[in-house]
Amino acid sequence: MKKLILSVMLAACAAFTAKAQTLSFGVKGGLTISKLTQFNDSKVRPSVYAGGFANIAFTESIALQPELLYSGQGTKYEPLNQTITYRLNYINIPVMFQYRIVPEFFLEAGPQLGFMVAGKTHAGKVTIDISDDTKAVDFGLGFGLGYQFPVGLGVSARYMFGLTNVFERSLDDNKNSVAQIGLFYTFKHQHTASKKRKR
């Protein structure tokens, strides 16, 4: 199933790219603030995200942006005055539909497919690998906004909420809840399909 979903997402991105007016690439990174829903007395866990993206613009206002990101997620809780940290690390593939209200400011929303690469719990000096207890694939939805300066540098914020349970065997719906805030940079080199056809 995960291969089918990924194949569909990649095929859709390829189809949209063929119709793009402008194609540009960039890098991004920043802070993640995450927790798990329905987790007893859970607290947020701060971490980082980093990766790259392709921006496929169809008009001056509408674009599609697939991304490939490393994301540190998880949660904390404190039973009996002891802090236990769940560190869940993912490779995420969000595909965001963007709408630019003005050239500098945009809104975005779209699905995300995540692949668990490492899952551990930490309590004091004790570390336990919980990768076998977590689901390999996480599916979610997100929405956000951003502002891009003329030099290519921008700032963005996004909230992603999971639709699948993180753990293989759990009576509760422990789903990812992740806020991101960070910087991105779009490289100035761009390919315009309409200009290519005129040559």
Tell me if 122 sits within 8 A of 156, measured CB to CB: no
- All structural domains of the chain, each given as residue ranges with its CATH number in brackets, are 2-189 (2.40.160.20)
Q: Which of 58-62, 88-92, 102-106, 193-197 has the lowest mean pLDDT?
A: 193-197
Q: How far are the Cα atoms of 14, 59, 77, 167 from residue 9, in angstroms, in the given order?
A: 9, 21, 35, 24
- At residue 199, the pLDDT reads 42
Which comes out higher in pLDDT, residue 40 or 24? Answer: 24
Whole-number Å distance between alpha carbons of 41 and 47: 19
User: Over 60: is that where the pLDDT of 15 sits?
Assistant: no
Which comes out higher in pLDDT, residue 4 or 168? Answer: 168
- At residue 195, the pLDDT reads 46
Kindly report the average pLDDT of the chain as a whole number: 86
- At residue 184, the pLDDT reads 97
Place 38 in a pLDDT band, splitting at 50, 70 and 90: confident
Whole-number Å distance between alpha carbons of 31 and 35: 13
pLDDT, one tens digit per residue, over 91-148 is 999 999 999 999 899 999 999 999 999 999 988 888 999 988 999 999 999 999 999 9
Q: How many Cβ atoms from other residues are within 10 Å of residue 14's Cβ? A: 10
Three-point CA angle 89, 93, 98, nearest 5°: 130
